[in-house]
Amino acid sequence: MPRDIPVGNGNFLVNFDNDYCIRDIYFPSVGKENHTDGRKFRFGIFTEGKFKWVDKSWGLKLCYSRESLITRVEAKNIELDIGLECSDFIDYKENIYIKKILIKNLAEREREFRIFFSHDFNILEYPAGDTSYYDPDERAVIHYKRKRYFLMSGLRNNVQGIDQYANGRKEFQGLEGTWRDAEDGILEGSPISQGSVDSALAFTVKVPSKGENILYYWICAGRDYAEVSRLNKMIMGHGVDYFNKRTENYWKAWLNKDERGFGGIPEEVIDLYKKSLLILKTNINFNGAIIAGNDSDIQHFARDTYSYMWPRDGALTAYALDMAGYQGVTRQFFNFCFDIICKGKESVGGYFLHKYNPDGSLGSSWHPWISSGQKILPIQEDGTGLILWSLWFHFNKFRDIEFIANLYENLIIRCGDFLASYRNDETGLPLSSYDLWEEKWGIHTFTLSAVYAGLKASENFADFFGNRKRKNIYGKAAEEIKSAMGKYLYSKEHNRFLKTIVPDKNGIFKKDLTIDSSLYAPFYFGMFGAKDEWVINTMNAVKDRLWLKTLSGGLARYEGDGYYRISENIKEVPGNPWFICTLWLAQWYIAKAENLKELSEAMAILKWVQARALSSGVLAEQADPYTNQSHSVSPLTWSHAVFITTVLEYIEKAKVLK
């Protein structure tokens, strides 16, 4: 289920699903730990003997306030004769989540409403050993385990505290949880419970005939009781509006820190560009780790998540942020990469491994260190190349010499030396590694393009620092890889680049003839021009074979892609359309455009993406090939990053063509 409206501040992240239920609570890092394990935190209304949990049946409209990470949600229930206008935000600085609910009594009589909230915590990502209790000093319900505390309270009619509470057991002897206790309008649970527990609380609010009233509800997150107590008192001391206003002002200032002209770009595309920046920011940890996605529903597919930093995804996201002018964020990312490369197996070889946790520790992996009895290096070499490529773009744009000098010897030289040496002496090709999709072992067009880009970046850095010897080594290696690309990975027989070649023990290459959207890479990373005959032939083949023959359209990842496959009609639906892959085609249109008419092909794709975003602006990994509904992880950082990049590339090209 997509995460429609994330809110966060780099330490504290809350995700909602399309029922407007909280489903993920990450603290103290974005991506780690998820203290819900994807379970629903419900809220519902009781009035005049009737109870309803808020969900899609309320006709939800899930959006953000303009230019802000503050939600704007509308809901209406005819049976209860009630309307709701809600906003949610996490303070930009303190670890406080606040929900404001404007309750609209649609009936022509004064009525009493009881608003219920349930909390299904799995603190530290497992249920055992939790405690939940009512704290009379804070007038709040508190959940805790070890060094993780969560305090829930609220305010109505200028009175802080809660009117009802219940703490109980869940998933034990058939118990569903205390949220069921709410459905008769009265909570009768224990003041404390331990083990596998949940809780519920309620507020009573009277609303005049055809009138309105406001309720505030909040969650404070901390490492101990003193911290959540401090935050709870801070809310009461400053008032809720203080946090709301300063958070709104912060995000508007962050988003509009540079005045940028958008030319003739449609307003709806500009709006998604700005939302993409904000949503992307929710997936960046305070230490610079760029997390791929924080949708916990994906774990039901593979019992793992996207809550990792992949070097490739991170590098491409940093590139987008640097294009947009957010060098402060990207400096943190590159420092994060520097810390990784200076420890563990990476420090020996000058390469990045599969993926990393938000704290920089090595993430889970399915890539083995041995194959057919022989040791192999289980890397995606493109990740190492792209970090160097994006780092050069960062430095070339901002010229932060002191910053880059700290990275030069232990990151740039170490990784550049690795890329230059991790090659076959006879062919000049890089040695085998995993492809960007983490599936196939071999030598890949995308990887060669990324390694070439990384070596050219290393050459530029060496030249800047006056290291002539390494400049020559990196430049020579890059040209040898480019030559080998033409010799081994461009097929004259098929008139296009090949996705992959796999050498056998005798050095004979087996060709993978699958058409793959990642074949855009030779032009994008500077190995060949966008109007080079080989590139044109390849991109035309990509478009012809991977563009879906359904009303939805869009570009599949590759022929026969089975990941979350919807249709078995491979001829018309070679795979689900991916946002990033479709945008790669737009990037080629932009790069080769010679006039505004040709450039309009790219705008059609930007509009295609915008039309398939959720109303909040969230972009998933994929779309359904028939219904256009979001599919797989949502939001996906990479999707938003490539949209941002494509918009900015379009703007720059439009300036040139005017």
Per-residue pLDDT at 176 exceeds 90: no
For residues 552-563, give the mean pLDDT.
Answer: 96
Give the model's confidence band at 1: pLDDT under 50 very low, under 70 low, under 90 confident, else very high: low
Q: What is the mean pLDDT of residues 341-364?
A: 89
Residue 1 belongs to a domain: no
pLDDT, average across residues 131-139 = 98
Omega before residue 522 within 30° of 0, cis:
no
**Phi and psi dihedrals of 637, rounded to 5?**
-55, -45
Task: Give residue 35's Cα distance to chain centre.
Answer: 18
Give me the helix-helix angle, 311-324 and 637-657, nearest 10°: 40
Distance CA 13, CA 5 (A): 11
Instruction: Examine residue 244 and state whether it is found in any structural domain, yes or no.
Output: no
What is the structure's pLDDT at 172? Answer: 60
Q: What is the DSSP string of 474-510?
A: HHHHHHHHHHHIIIIIEETTTTEE-SEEEE-TTSPEE
**Judgement on whether residues 360 and 480 belong to the same structural domain of the protein:** yes
Judged against a pLDDT cut of 90, whether residue 78 lies above it is answered with yes
- Which pLDDT band, with edges at 50, 70 and 90, does 305 fall under? confident
Instruction: Report the number of distinct structural domains present in the chain.
Output: 3
Which stretches of 256-399 are DSSP H helices? 267-282, 299-302, 311-324, 327-341, 344-349, 381-398
Task: State yes or no: pLDDT of 288 exceeds 80.
Answer: yes
pLDDT confidence of residue 258: 81
Q: What digits encode the pLDDT tens for the residues 306-337?
A: 999 999 999 999 999 999 999 999 999 999 99
The pairing of beta strand 96-105 with beta strand 212-222: antiparallel
> Which residues fall within 8 angstroms of residue 401, CB to CB, at 6 or more apart?
none
Cα distances from 296 to residues 91, 145, 569, 620, in angstroms, run: 23, 21, 29, 13
Query: Do residues 298 and 633 lie in contact, with contact meaning Cβ atoms separated by under 8 Å?
Result: yes
Residue 169: count other Cβ atoms within 10 Å of its Cβ: 19
Query: How far is Cα 64 from Cα 89, in angstroms, rounded to an integer?
Result: 10
Please say if the pLDDT value at position 4 is more than 90.
Answer: no
Domain stops at, among 545, 564, 584: 545
Structural domain range at position 637: 252-282+547-658
Q: What is the CATH number of the domain that holds 48?
A: 2.70.98.10
Q: Judge if the upstream peptide bond of residue 33 is cis by omega within 30 degrees of 0.
A: yes
Backbone angles phi, psi at 517, to 5 degrees: -60, -25
pLDDT grade, residue 643 (50/70/90)? Answer: very high
- What Cα–Cα distance (Å) separates residue 346 from each residue in 112, 342, 354, 448? 62, 7, 11, 20
- Arithmetic mean of pLDDT over the chain: 95
Which CATH number does the domain housing residue 345 bear? Answer: 1.50.10.10
Within a domain: residue 245? Answer: no
Q: Is the confidence at residue 432, as pLDDT, over 70?
A: yes
| Final residue before a domain boundary, out of 545, 570, 585 | 545
pLDDT band at 188 (very low <50, low <70, confident <90, very high): confident
Question: Angle between the 240-255 and 267-282 helix axes, to the nearest 10 degrees?
Answer: 120
Query: Does some domain include residue 582?
Result: yes
Measured distance CA(552)–CA(559) in Å, rounded: 17
Assess if residue 96 is contained within a domain. Answer: yes
Q: Is the pTM of this model over 0.85?
A: yes
Which of these three, 493, 523, 545, is where a domain ends?
Answer: 545
- Considering the domain architecture, whether residues 268 and 136 belong to the same structural domain is answered as no
Which whole number is the average pLDDT over 60-76? 97
In a domain, 217, yes or no: yes
Q: Is 426 buried (19+), middle (13-18) or exposed (0-12) by CB count in 10 A?
A: exposed
Claim to verify: residue 437 and residue 505 sit in the same structural domain: yes
Question: Do 342 and 487 belong together in one domain?
Answer: yes
In this structure, the answer to whether residues 194 and 69 fall within a common structural domain is: yes
Residue 91: its pLDDT value, please? 98
- Residue 67 belongs to a domain: yes
**Are 169 and 133 part of one and the same domain?**
yes
Residue 300 is classified by DSSP as H
Q: Does residue 44 register a pLDDT over 60?
A: yes
Q: What is the mean pLDDT of the segment spanning 644-652? A: 97
Is 90 exceeded by the pLDDT of residue 302? no
- Note whether 349 and 440 are same-domain residues: yes
How many helices, marked H, and strands, marked E, lie in the chain? 17, 29
**537 and 587 share a domain?**
no
Extract the tokens encoding 184. Answer: 């008769």
Question: For residue 289, is pLDDT > 90?
Answer: yes
Of the ranges 100-109, 340-349, 358-367, 476-485, which one carries the lowest mean pLDDT score?
340-349
Q: Which of 370, 362, 319, 320 lies closest to 344, judged by CA? A: 362
CA angle 595, 600, 604 (to 5 degrees): 165
- Pick from 223, 40, 38, 30: nearest CA to 145: 223
Cα–Cα distance measured from residue 541 to residue 519, given in angstroms and rounded to the nearest whole number: 10
Are 502 and 580 members of one domain? no
Residues 259 and 233 in one domain: no
Domain shared by 233 and 263, yes or no:
no
- State the residue for tokens 């044109």: 536
Q: Average the pLDDT over 216-238 and give the result.
A: 98
Torsion on CA atoms 357, 362, 367, 370, rounded to nearest 10? -170
pLDDT at 107: 97
Whether a cis peptide bond, with omega within 30° of 0, leads into 28 is yes
Residues 575 and 646 in one domain: yes
Tell me, yes or no, whether 98 lies in a domain.
Answer: yes
pLDDT at 310: 97
Query: Using 50, 70 and 90 to split pLDDT, how confident is the model at 262?
Result: confident
Ordered DSSP codes for 309-322: B-HHHHHHHHHHHH
In this predicted structure, the answer to whether residue 523 has a pLDDT above a threshold of 80 is yes
Please state, for a pLDDT cut of 90, what percent of the chain lies above it: 90
Quote the CA–CA distance of 483 and 473 in Å, as a whole number.
Answer: 16
Supply the pLDDT for residue 200. Answer: 97
Query: In the prediction, which pLDDT does 285 show?
Result: 97
At 303 the pLDDT is: 58
Binned at pLDDT 50, 70 and 90, residue 299 comes out as low
Residue spans of alpha helices (H) in 185-224: none
Residue 505 confidence class, pLDDT cut points 50, 70, 90: confident
Q: What is the DSSP string of 41-91?
A: B-EEEEETTEEEE-SGGG--EEEE-TTSS-EEEEEEETTTTEEEEEEEEE-
Number of residues that this document lists for the chain: 658
CA separation, residue 82 to residues 51, 77, 116 (Å): 12, 6, 15
Q: How far is Cα 334 from Cα 391, in angstroms, rounded to an integer?
A: 7
For the stretch 23-36, pLDDT in tens is 999 999 999 999 99
| CB neighbour list of residue 459: distance below 8 Å, 6 or more residues apart | 416, 471, 474, 475, 478
